[in-house]
Amino acid sequence: MQNSMTVNVSKRQTRMSTQPHAAPEDDLSNDRLFVTALARGLDILQAFGMQDRQLGNQELAQRTGLPKSTVSRLTYTLTKLGYLQQDPVSSKYLPGLKVLTLGFAALAQVDVRERARPLMRALSQETGLSVTLGCLMGTRVVYVEACRATTRVGIKLDVGASVPLVSTAIGRAIYASLDASQRSQTTDALALEYGGSWPDWQERLHTGAAEISQDGFCRSFGEFEPDIFAVAVPLRGQESPMAINCSGPAYRLTPEQWAGEIAPKLRELAGRLGGA
């Protein structure tokens, strides 16, 4: 039994290390409280991305590294419980309404959203730019509030969407706010995810942290999307690492205007929320 559990956990850790959004886990081989079946079910749900309409068992098996027979049992169970829906024509799966209830329950715990929403909306209307609030989730940032500007060019992402930590201003602001333990854990996960390109991204994260220290905000000009500029400020004193971000088309403002006009407004907003 011990050897079997060790093999299962080892396989799962190997699978997760190949997934772009996964973070390395602690060694679970001797953790008798760890429920592998539950973890595999969550792997299935996490395999769905923002751009995925439907996924079949074969696609889910490829993304999770699980045997197709195991995936079939998991998708059947999750469908019965309402966490997945099966399309009657394609026989593929999509997230069910119960997944939404979990997400909304989690968002309801983020009290800062309620205080931030009117301030973010006012800043978005004043500047004509998008303003987003995000929290750390593994090696990515998940938006928990978003006020999108009605511009032709922009990041069309809403609440629940996620963006990379390394290439975005909001991600770098969050990284800069991490304590030593959190930063070490996140760094290990990023190094595993980015492999040979990690040293370059690590340098950019360090540059972002230096910008936060010196200027109170950090930049990402055309790194996440070539035609998008953004500045961000960390929110300190929150239960989860968070930051607030302002972004818009690169043609709208010069780098000097972003630094001299937009960043101070964003810092003021963050200060009113308790922490630039």
Q: Say how far apart CA 230 and CA 169 lie, in whole Å.
A: 6
Nearest one of 51, 123, 55, 92 to 273, comparing CA atoms: 123
DSSP at 55: B
Is residue 198 classed exposed, middle or buried when 0-12, 13-18 and 19+ CB atoms within 10 A define those classes?
A: middle
CA–CA gap between residue 174 and residue 80 (Å, rounded): 38
Predicted TM-score of the model (pTM): 0.67
Give the angle subtended at the CA of 237 by the CAs of 236 and 239, to the nearest 5°: 110
Q: What is the 3-state secondary structure (H, E, C) of 140-177?
A: EEEEEEEECCCCCCCCCCCCCCEEECCCCHHHHHHHHH
DSSP H or E run through 217? none
Token reading at 264? 């101070």
Give me the amino acid identity at 258: W
Instruction: Kindly give the confidence (pLDDT) of every residue in the chain, 276 residues in length, as a single tens digit, with 9 standing for 90 and above.
Output: 334 333 343 334 333 333 444 434 445 667 788 888 888 888 888 888 666 678 999 999 998 889 999 999 999 999 998 889 898 889 999 888 677 666 655 555 567 888 889 999 999 999 999 999 998 888 888 888 999 877 654 566 777 788 899 999 999 999 999 999 999 999 998 998 899 999 999 999 999 999 999 999 999 999 999 999 999 999 987 778 899 999 999 998 999 999 999 999 999 999 988 755
CA angle 115, 121, 123 (to 5 degrees): 105
Angle between helix 68-81 and 57-64 (nearest 10):
110
CB 245 within 8 A of CB 132: yes
The rounded distance, in Å, linking the Cα atoms of 253 and 230 is 10
Q: How far apart are the first and last CA of the chain?
A: 51
